[in-house]
Amino acid sequence: MKFFLISLFTVVLVKEALSQSGNRDYDEELRYQNDAINNLKAELKQLRLKIKTTESRERSTINRLSSIDKEISLTSKLIQSLKFEEDRARKTIYQLKNDILKNENELESLRFRYSQRILKSYKKGRLTDLERVFSSTTWRQAIYRTHYLKIISDIEKNLTKKIERLLLKISRQKVDLEVALRDNLNLKRDKETQISSYRNMRVDREKELNRIRNDKQALTSYVSEKEEGVKQLEKIIKRVLEDKARFERELRIRQQQETLKTKSFKALKGQLPWPADGRIISKFGRQWNSKLKTTTDNPGIDIKGKPGSSIRSVLGGVVTTITYIRGYGTTVIVDHGGGFYTVYSHVTNIQINVDSQVRNGDVIAYMGDSGSVNGAKLHFEIWGKGQKLDPEKWLVKK
């Protein structure tokens, strides 16, 4: 009996420790998500302030479009984060309601058991503990009765304490539920506000696009904007290559490849799946622009597809970057290990987070027109050992 009680006590302690550990992990993740949302809001606030302070100055159409695109990109990212948090809050509410119901059922059962014991004792007429002991015929029987009466008394005390603990637990859970419901309502309102703002920005963007399409000078400025974007992307790739975290990513990617039994990026030249459905409208390398009579360098390929269609990771890896790049809009960079990276630009509705692990074929975003003046498309790049590679040589032939 003693061994059983010690074992039971040990199990309770272990469960309590694990529960506290789980709570700490959850709280840490919650703080991380809240910080991410607050940082996005702060970045949006700074950008809007910057736009407002330059409104009085003469700004080109392309600069206005670039500002709107960046604002749309950040707002879209914020909406996605709010959706994640709203979903988390809904799950928390669902779990709390289940826990409260379960605990209330247990409380009702304990109360019934307690009332039955009292009723039974009243009907039968209960002897005092002292009378039970003195009514024993032998000293041995008296000792046994003393021992077991103590056990019964302890059980009754534990039953009472358990009822008290459950009442306290249910009370706390109901407070937590009220907080979760309030947070969920605030998140929903915030999300709806951002969605309304997003829609207004899309209207403003269309107006600026119409100006650009009919203005050769504005189109020339857009080409320059893309060239600046290429330089910006090159700097980002360089930072990623020099990032100390790449060693930890390499280990995670190798473990993923071993678990899923997938080949390395280098071994899959000409066998990689296409990141999106559609046709190539701009190839890798030097391209002639007949409208502007100029030659530009394309660091990847452009795939024209259906707006809102899926953008998928061509191979497993770790997301290193989600950012806005001039002329390329919202951009995602995935590290595939061995010095190979893929770049996905003009995307919308991001489905992943920085440092999250993706597998071959996972939907990472959807086709959009962020940073594009030619409608929805995907700009796709492959980098190997710091060099831009022709994606068509790596993708499976159609």
The 10s digit of each residue's pLDDT in 222-245 is 667 778 888 889 899 989 988 888
- The architecture CATH gives domain 227-398: Distorted Sandwich (2.70)
Whether 253 shows a pLDDT value over 60: the answer reads: yes
Whether 339 shows a pLDDT value over 60: the answer reads: yes
Between 99 and 121, whose confidence is greater? 99
Whether 32 shows a pLDDT value over 60: the answer reads: no
Residue 337 CB coordination number (10 Å): 22
Two tokens, residue 115: 């009332």
pLDDT digits (tens, 9 = 90+) for 37-46: 777 677 667 7
Q: What is the pLDDT of residue 88?
A: 85
Is residue 106 within 8 A of residue 115, CB to CB? The reply is no
Q: What is the pLDDT of residue 26?
A: 46
* CATH class, range 21-214: mainly alpha
pLDDT band at 299; cut points 50, 70, 90: very high
Residue 135 CA to residue 102 CA, distance in Å, equals: 43
- Domain 21-214 matches domain 227-398 at the CATH topology level: no
Two tokens, residue 117: 């014991």
Q: What is the pLDDT of residue 303?
A: 96
Residues 6+ apart with CB under 8 A from 372: 329, 346
Candidate from 64-78, 228-242, 307-321 with smallest mean pLDDT: 64-78
What percentage of residues in the chain have a pLDDT greater than 90?
29
Between 50 and 273, whose confidence is greater? 273
Q: Which residues pair with 384 in a beta bridge?
A: 340, 387
Q: What is the pLDDT of residue 272?
A: 97
- Kindly report the average pLDDT of the chain as a whole number: 78
Q: What is the pLDDT of residue 23?
A: 46
Whether 5 shows a pLDDT value over 70: the answer reads: no
Predicted structure pTM score = 0.63
pLDDT digits (tens, 9 = 90+) for 138-186: 555 545 545 544 555 555 677 777 778 888 888 888 888 888 888 888 8
Whether 119 shows a pLDDT value over 60: the answer reads: yes
Report the C-alpha dihedral over residues 316, 321, 323, 328, rounded to 10 degrees. Answer: -60
pLDDT band at 196; cut points 50, 70, 90: confident
Residue ranges per structural domain of the chain: 21-214, 227-398
Candidate from 127-131, 315-319, 346-350, 382-386 with smallest mean pLDDT: 127-131
Between 112 and 248, whose confidence is greater? 248
Whether 19 shows a pLDDT value over 60: the answer reads: no
Q: What is the pLDDT of residue 3?
A: 35
Residue 69 CA to residue 15 CA, distance in Å, equals: 50
Is residue 81 within 8 A of residue 194, CB to CB? The reply is no
Whether 123 shows a pLDDT value over 60: the answer reads: no
Q: What is the pLDDT of residue 31?
A: 58
What number is the average pLDDT over the span 187-204?
A: 83
Is residue 331 within 8 A of residue 279, CB to CB? The reply is no
Whether 364 shows a pLDDT value over 90: the answer reads: yes
* Secondary structure, 3-state, the chain: CHHHHHHHHHHHHHHHHHHHHHHHHHHHHHHHHHHHHHHHHHHHHHHHHHHHHCCCCCCCHHHHHHHHHHHHHHHHHHHHHHHHHHHHHHHHHHHHHHHHHHHHHHHHHHHHHHHHHHHHHHHHCCCCHHHHHHCCCCHHHHHHHHHHHHHHHHHHHHHHHHHHHHHHHHHHHHHHHHHHHHHHHHHHHHHHHHHHHHHHHHHHHHHHHHHHHCCHHHHHHHHHHHHHHHHHHHHHHHHHHHCCCHHHHHHHHHHHHHHHCCCCCHHHCCCECCCCCCEEEECCEEEEECCCCEEEEECCEEEECCCCCEEECCCCEEEEEEEEECCCEEEEEEEEECCEEEEEECEECCCCCCCCEECCCCEEEEEECCCCCCCCEEEEEEEECCEEECHHHHECCC
Q: What is the pLDDT of residue 22?
A: 43
Whether 100 shows a pLDDT value over 70: the answer reads: yes
